[in-house]
Structure 1
Amino acid sequence: MTDTTATAATPTAALSAAGVSIWLDDLSRERINTGNLEKLIAEKNVVGVTTNPTIFAAALSKGEAYDEQVRQLAAAGLDVDDAIFEITTDDVAKASDIFHSVYERSNGVDGRVSIEVAPALAHDAKATIAAAKKLSDKIQKPNVMIKIPATVEGLEAITETIAAGISVNVTLIFSLERYRAVIDAYLTGLEKAKEAGIDLSGIHSVASFFVSRVDTEVDKRLSAIGTDEAEGLKSKAGIANARLAYEVYEQQFATERAKLLVQAGANEQRPLWASTGVKDPNLPDTLYVEALVAPNVVNTMPEKTLDATFDHGHITGDTVTGTYAESNDVLNKLADLGISYDDVTETLEREGVEKFNVSWGELVETVKTALEGAAK
């Protein structure tokens, strides 16, 4: 269920009516304090927010919105890690309150705010599980989702976090094979939660399938090949991959196993399109929005993409179902050119974790400098 309270005359309203939940891929104290989030909910059909280390690092490095809290934390003698925990969970809790009416109106499907476990834990299942529970216990909001990366080790963490009744946003999914494993981890977690007597209806999950990063990596390899055929395949892999992910979603939630859980009150794990801002300036700025319209999905957009969609998005209804043969053809042609799907997706997962670790390091340095400055 999506929120369609804004006028249907806008492209974002049309997108919502087509079954796509629009989540903003950004959060800051300034957005919270200025009423910006309420405005986006009211005017541009935004029904959720996602965060990650990169977003928090950027937010903390700009403006003065965090200065007062940093002074208080410095006076209390908190170290950098504890200060980051307090600052980020405070933002997420406040944003969760802003989105609570959307959460209520959508019966818990939307109105979601996601916060990620520290990226250094991406290959440590037990530490990820502990961090997910700590974040959930600290924030204490029903509409929060804990982001866990879809590494091999992350699969166990997804299962155990879901089994504990905590809603999860699975992030950094690139391959169809890993996506199938993510759905299996979710269903296994639901089965464990059911055995433990936990109400399944309160557990929600999305599976974040990255889009534009696939094109960036594949197009780089196509440029190296340099033939006309290679050039003709540029900017097609990301959309084809995501469309095939939707086919996987349809298949896996049509199984008897999934149906039994849904009958017991469980929710389907919705596909989420992440990394939907175009990286290539030659591409239409709404490409990854218009090409990935389907029922029961989420699209997390950077504000630039959201504004472009609101301004001139052309929403024509479902652009995903029925495209699977064409999408498979794209991946087959890439394979024929010698581009390894497995190598592309493994490279992207590794780089994704590394990028978040770099951003986390920047976040640590920003907070450390702020604490030191406040203590003088």
Structure 2
Amino acid sequence: MTQRRSGSSARPASPVLSGLAAEGVSVWLDGLTRSALADGSFATWVRGGAVTGAVLSAAPVLREVRARTGHPYREQIDTLARRRTAPEAIVRALFSHDARWACDLLAPVHAAADGLDGWVCVDLPQDTGRDTPSALAAAKSLARVVNRPNLLIRVPATDAGTDLVSVCAAEGIGVNAALVHSVDRYTDVLDAYWQGLEHALRTGRDLSRHVCVVTVEVADVERAVDRALARSPGGNAAGPLRGRTALALARGVYDIHERALDSGRWGALRRAGARPYRIGWSGADAERPAADLDTAGRIRHVEEIVAWRTAHLLAPGILTEVAARAAPDGDSLTGEGPTAREFRALLRQRGVAVDRLAGELTEHRVRRLRRHGDGLLAAVRETPSVRAYG
């Protein structure tokens, strides 16, 4: 599927994005904020069919709150402050408001896709306890407050996070298992999700309402592997391996995905009403300022990583560039498991421990998410109205 390049400015309806959709690839906006909701730009992307999902997280909201005094969150913060609402509750209210708004805009997409797309992923509140029972209570609270069928609770795929994925699946809470950095961790998440579905089946629940989307951090892993290759003995000779890890990781994950869907275990769940699940490919774009984005690399990932029932999570600036300039080449993942395993073997020969890197990346990203959450809470506390009424 080679697309002609469109003009230099992005359009709500892009032949590039339409071509991706024809290949079964969705595009989700990573880093949705109230500015994009309020000025109508997100609605324009959705109506044009360019965007079919969204991710709400703390980093872009923090940048917006810090950027200017007249940010679009100010009125809600001031109103809640006058009611002497605690800063933690204000932050939750900001995200709940935006989540409802985004879910409503994507509701027609969700309906047209029969519940297989049109999702809004939202982080759990930063003040959530780290144990599974308190995290589950927070997930239930967020789902209840937002009260939309196309909401997914975003959960980091740590060891504790995979436990939460299983419990959410059992309870019928839609979940986005994020920060997956390896094939092995994807396998762990998939097993946890299925355990939750099997528990739900035993308790008589309708499995068609139980959803999990897994987000694989392909760009994070590629950057880390390329740095490791540069440091390895004979690093110059490793040049052909650089810039190939994202595609190899996607192929390895998709190979597990394909084989899982052919398994008897999934067949039993499918016959009981379980729905197909989607894999998202992420570059952690929303956590970085626009000046730090690797736009060329992310365009390459969109061009290289194409397969049915997947999604690319893209920050607004990268989405615009992809819509205007990307040239995807068609399905690149189906049947490519052996290629992925060969690439992993080559990395081992170069002394690159992918599993160790994956664990370090997950820990780093979890810490960064907490810093962003803490920063947003601090920014809300520093708002004049909160200081005046607190």
TM-score of the alignment, normalized to the shorter chain, above 0.5: yes
Matched residue type, 1:32: L
Matched-pair contact (CA < 8 Å) for 1:20–1:293? yes
Matched-pair contact (CA < 8 Å) for 1:186–1:269? no
Matched residue type, 1:372: V
TM-score, L = length of structure 2: 0.89
Structure 1 residues 335 and 282: CA distance shift in structure 2, 3 A: farther
Matched-pair contact (CA < 8 Å) for 1:23–1:298? yes
- Tell me by how many angstroms 1:313 deviates: 1.3
- Measured in 2, the distance between the counterparts of 1:293 and 1:159 equals 28
Matched-pair contact (CA < 8 Å) for 2:255–2:335? no
Residues 1-376 of structure 1: pairs in structure 2 closer than 5 A: 10-43=15-48, 45-62=50-67, 63-118=70-125, 123-225=130-232, 227-275=235-283, 281=294, 283-370=296-383, 371-373=385-387, 375=389
- Measured in 2, the distance between the counterparts of 1:280 and 1:372 equals 33
- Tell me by how many angstroms 1:30 deviates: 1.5
Q: Across the two proteins, how many residue pairs are aligned to each other?
A: 371
Matched-pair contact (CA < 8 Å) for 1:123–1:154? no
- Measured in 1, the distance between the counterparts of 2:269 and 2:153 equals 21
Structure 1 residues 120 and 350: CA distance shift in structure 2, 3 A: farther
Deviations 1:252-308 (A, max 9, x none): 121111111111111122211111759785945411111110001111111122112
- Measured in 2, the distance between the counterparts of 1:179 and 1:299 equals 17
Partner SS state of residue 47, structure 2? helix
Partner SS state of residue 329, structure 2? coil
- Measured in 2, the distance between the counterparts of 1:375 and 1:280 equals 38
Matched-pair contact (CA < 8 Å) for 1:74–1:375? yes
- Measured in 1, the distance between the counterparts of 2:201 and 2:60 equals 35
Deviations 1:210-233 (A, max 9, x none): 111001111111121252222321
Partner SS state of residue 204, structure 2? coil
- Measured in 1, the distance between the counterparts of 2:86 and 2:203 equals 37
Structure 1 residues 125 and 327: CA distance shift in structure 2, 3 A: same
- Tell me by how many angstroms 1:123 deviates: 4.6
Deviations 1:18-69 (A, max 9, x none): 0011111021111111111111113352001012222332233344211111
Deviations 1:314-369 (A, max 9, x none): 12221112333222222111111111111110111100101101111111111111
- Tell me by how many angstroms 1:240 deviates: 0.6
Matched-pair contact (CA < 8 Å) for 1:149–1:172? yes
Please say which of residues 337-346 and 283-292 is displaced more in the overlay: 283-292
Matched residue type, 2:386: E
Partner SS state of residue 121, structure 2? strand
Matched-pair contact (CA < 8 Å) for 2:126–2:374? no
Deviations 1:182-240 (A, max 9, x none): 01111111112222222111222111111110011111111212522223211111221
- Measured in 1, the distance between the counterparts of 2:338 and 2:83 equals 60
Matched-pair contact (CA < 8 Å) for 2:179–2:216? yes
- Measured in 2, the distance between the counterparts of 1:141 and 1:147 equals 15
TM-score, L = length of structure 1: 0.93
Please say which of residues 227-236 and 307-316 is displaced more in the overlay: 227-236
Partner SS state of residue 307, structure 2? coil
- Measured in 2, the distance between the counterparts of 1:21 and 1:13 equals 9
Matched-pair contact (CA < 8 Å) for 2:172–2:210? yes
- Measured in 2, the distance between the counterparts of 1:7 and 1:55 equals 22
Structure 1 residues 219 and 38: CA distance shift in structure 2, 3 A: same
CA RMSD of aligned residues (A): 2.2
Matched-pair contact (CA < 8 Å) for 1:183–1:269? no
Matched-pair contact (CA < 8 Å) for 2:122–2:153? yes
Structure 1 residues 171 and 7: CA distance shift in structure 2, 3 A: closer
- Measured in 1, the distance between the counterparts of 2:281 and 2:19 equals 17
Deviations 1:85-121 (A, max 9, x none): 1111111111111111111111111111111113565
Structure 2 unaligned regions, length at least 5: 1-10
- Tell me by how many angstroms 1:8 deviates: 8.4
- Measured in 2, the distance between the counterparts of 1:342 and 1:9 equals 38
- Measured in 2, the distance between the counterparts of 1:136 and 1:206 equals 16
- Percent identical residues: 27
- Measured in 1, the distance between the counterparts of 2:114 and 2:214 equals 19
